[in-house]
């Protein structure tokens, strides 16, 4: 074995050991002796926020995903830009993150810090993780225990976001490569895509599919013709860019397996949604999740738990922020 290969293998081993150590510090009931009621406090804050607006649910779920895929689950997406630093949240790919997702974490943090023994003892990264579990449950999805013990990250730059988040036009190979970089399998990716059973998208993210897909086909042939007509009515040409369309046209406010049934009917909103059914390599998983809520929920919980272990900060690589939107 030559020296270069040896060094590459050695550095990969260190990377694997380090990431395993980081996720090894995570555990269920991490705050049992530090802030025993933390999960109840967060859930009550999330319930109150949902009563104000339903956007809390998809907004929080998407915020967690965008956080974990860039430098790991460390609440770096929460940081506000300041001075010469443009933070993650101001990268073009993050500008559509709903303010209600951020506000959910801020409100939950305030509720935790109102308990003197808990003040500044719970990381923003863990609060986001708990709140994400809670919005899934409160929308009708599965309940699952969350692993906690993350620290908040010490850096947040817009530059670090580039190329890290899936685009709506990706094919299966590119989706798999992006998820694999975060230790997630194809089955994990298909299960996490099921989060598109909630939430909405702006017209510009899929308008190419209904107006100028290709020279031969102005409309993407993998779209159901009736669904394409519906989308054209909701998103006419030159539409106001603020107009949004439900990701799931049938049960947009319920966390269920309808997303996969929609794909079977040619009702995936993004290219990256519909490709999961049109590509023969991923189609069996879509069919399995469409036919069994339990199969989907179980796979979703496994994938969310794995996602929550990505890039966890420990020791001197992180701290507990006093304000989720600013470094200490």
In Å, how far are 28, 35, 147, 275 from 305, measured between CA atoms? 11, 22, 7, 25
- Name, in order, each residue with C-beta under 8 angstroms of 143's C-beta and a sequence gap of 6 or more: 133, 137
- SS3 call for 142: coil
Question: Would you give the DSSP letter of residue 322?
Answer: S
Query: In sequence order, what are the beta bridge partners of 27?
Result: 148
CB atoms within 10 A of CB 245: 18
Residues in CB range of 249: below 8 A, 6 or more apart: 227, 230, 262, 267
For residue 148, give the 3-state DSSP assignment.
strand
Q: How many helices (H) and strands (E) does the chain have?
A: 13, 4
Q: Is 27 helix (H, G, I), strand (E, B) or coil?
A: strand
Structure tokens at 316: 């001197």
Q: Rounded to an integer, what distance in angstroms lies between the CA atom of residue 267 and that of residue 261?
A: 8
Q: What is the rounded end-to-end Cα distance, in angstroms, of the chain? A: 46
Catalytic hit among 66, 91, 196, 202: 66
Active site residue 66: yes
Catalytic site residues?
A: 66
């Amino acid at each position: 074995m030559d020296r270069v290969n040896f060094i590459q293998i050695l550095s990969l081993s260190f990377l694997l050991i380090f990431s395993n150590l980081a996720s090894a510090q995570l555990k269920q009931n991490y705050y049992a002796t530090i802030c025993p009621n933390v999960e109840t406090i967060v859930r009550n804050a999330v319930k109150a926020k949902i009563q104000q607006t339903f956007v809390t649910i998809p907004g929080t779920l998407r915020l967690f995903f965008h956080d974990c895929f860039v430098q790991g689950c460390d609440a770096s997406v929460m940081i506000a830009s300041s001075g010469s630093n443009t933070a993650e949240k101001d990268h073009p790919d993050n500008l559509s993150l709903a303010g209600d997702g951020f506000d959910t974490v801020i409100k939950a943090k305030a509720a935790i810090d109102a308990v003197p023994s808990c003040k500044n003892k719970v990381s923003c990264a863990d609060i986001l993780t708990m709140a994400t579990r809670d919005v899934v449950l409160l929308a009708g999805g599965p309940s699952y225990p969350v692993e906690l013990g993350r620290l908040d990250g010490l850096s947040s730059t817009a530059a670090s976001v580039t190329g890290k988040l899936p685009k709506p036009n990706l094919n299966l190979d590119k989706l798999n490569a992006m998820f694999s970089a975060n230790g997630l399998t194809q089955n994990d990716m298909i299960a996490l895509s099921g989060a598109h059973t909630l939430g909405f998208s702006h017209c510009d993210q899929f308008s190419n599919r209904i107006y100028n897909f290709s020279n031969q086909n102005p409309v993407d042939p993998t779209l159901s013709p009736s669904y394409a007509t519906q989308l054209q009515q909701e998103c006419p040409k030159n539409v106001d860019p603020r107009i949004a369309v439900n990701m799931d046209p049938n049960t947009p406010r319920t966390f269920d397996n309808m997303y996969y049934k929609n794909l079977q009917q040619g009702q995936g909103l993004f290219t990256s949604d519909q490709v999961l059914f049109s590509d023969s390599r991923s189609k069996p998983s879509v069919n399995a999740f469409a036919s069994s809520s339990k199969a989907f929920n179980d796979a979703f919980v496994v994938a969310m738990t794995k996602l929550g272990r990505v890039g966890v900060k420990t020791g001197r690589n992180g701290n507990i922020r006093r304000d989720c939107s600013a470094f200490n």
